[in-house]
Structure 1
Amino acid sequence: MDLFSILIYIDIILLVILNLMSFILFGMDKYKAKRKKWRIPEKTLLFYSILAPVGAFLGMIFFRHKTSKLKFYLWISFFLILHTLPFVFYILKSKTSILL
């Protein structure tokens, strides 16, 4: 296994961990909101949404948290698109090179 493959595996592991953390943060904030306790700041939730938008989006849906806030839907959707574009371009590039 070459260095590039190892780095890809490390990136995937880090993305999974960050998405789990993002998902859990939305769940923790929902839990705290129900009990009128100290909340996780919205800036923190949005920061983790930048790093891991899939976990944030799934956390919003699963915990039904921040779903009425349009700001979160728009930002998380934007971050999802940004995270998806490199994969789409990579797939399109590899398919066009196969066709040529």
Structure 2
Amino acid sequence: MEGIVPVLGLYLLLNLVAAAAFWNDKRKARANRWRTSENLLLTVAFLGPFGAWWAMQHYRHKTQKPKFRLVPVFAFVHLAALLYLVLSGA
């Protein structure tokens, strides 16, 4: 049980970083500045899908781009992996 706390902390951090990346890109878009690449945004969304999904909805950013429809899929994959880990007793 002790080993789970650092893992959860890291996972929370990854989701916060993902949310910040989407917020920062939206801010740059409004200011007409150099933007974060979509591949980098998708990579951080894969690592922290809940933060990315929240930021997409909250800031209304990248919600119309077809490839960003993968973000909820990433979240589902993370939930499925968590469920597997819980049920397998890992």
Q: TM-score, normalised by structure 1?
A: 0.81
**2:53 maps to what in 1?**
57
- Structure 1 runs of 4+ aligned residues shifted over 2 Å read 86-94
Distance in 1 between residues matched to 2:12 and 2:24, nearest whole Å = 18
Structure 2 counterpart SS, 1:66: coil
Q: How many residues align?
A: 89
Structure 1 counterpart SS, 2:2: helix
1:83 to 75, 78, 82: 78
Instruction: Give the structure with the higher percent helix.
Output: 1
Name the % identity: 34
Please report the RMSD computed on the Cα atoms of aligned residues, expressed in angstroms. 1.5
Between Structure 1 and Structure 2, whose CA radius of gyration is higher? Answer: 1
2:6 to 10, 34, 43: 10
Distance in 2 between residues matched to 1:10 and 1:66, nearest whole Å = 31
1:27 to 23, 29, 50: 23
Distance in 1 between residues matched to 2:85 and 2:17, nearest whole Å = 27
Unaligned runs of 5+ in 1: 95-100
Distance in 2 between residues matched to 1:54 and 1:44, nearest whole Å = 16
Distance in 1 between residues matched to 2:85 and 2:3, nearest whole Å = 17
Unaligned runs of 5+ in 2: none
Shift of residue 91, structure 1, vs aligned partner: 4.9
Q: TM-score, normalised by structure 2?
A: 0.89
